[in-house]
Amino acid sequence: MSRWEPNARERLVRAALDLFSEQGYDSTTVAEIAERAGLTKTTFFRHFPDKREVLFAGQDVHSRLLAEGIAAAPATATPLGAVTAALDAATVTFTPEQREFGPRLSAVIADNRELQERQVFKHAGLASAMAEALCRRGVPAPTAALAADLGVRAFSRAFACWSDPANRQTFTELARQELEELRAAAAALG
């Protein structure tokens, strides 16, 4: 096993998703993931605390990009305008190579309650990052929380659509569409 080959983290993610898809999440061990990636178990634990976290490897990056997008939004942007800028900023992580992961990732998560719970925590973390960034812009906390929640819903729905092999729209287009639909739905509440 080559310990110093590049892209160890990405290789571990790919190996984990392959194994989870082939034999199920519960039946897959960390040792098997490391072996499939051509790495050691120790290397796995340098990158991830457990096998569950390998599927949520992008959360920190997404949180940072979303917060940076809000911070970079024009000073005149409304809270949802700043959330739109955040969703645009997150687009850099949604590459064609990543697109193939979507359906398999969703299927693995859908088949496991523990992973479904972890996904809820991921979404809460993304919402928190956006709400905090909005508050730093002077947006009142309740408004920031609601805008962030709508942003996470748009993010999640856009990811599901973007992952569909039949869909050819960009993540940015989808996220903007989803956020606009959610904005209209919120306005219809009266």
For residue 5, what pLDDT band results from cuts at 50, 70 and 90? low
The three-point CA angle 96-99-101 to 5° equals 135
Average pLDDT over residues 95-102: 81
What's the pLDDT score for residue 3? 52
CATH superfamily of 8-53: Homeodomain-like (1.10.10.60)
In the chain, CATH 1.10.10.60 sits at 8-53
pTM: 0.88
For 58-187, which CATH class? mainly alpha
Q: Which of 56, 62, 9 is nearest to 33 (CA)?
A: 9
pLDDT at 76 over 90: yes
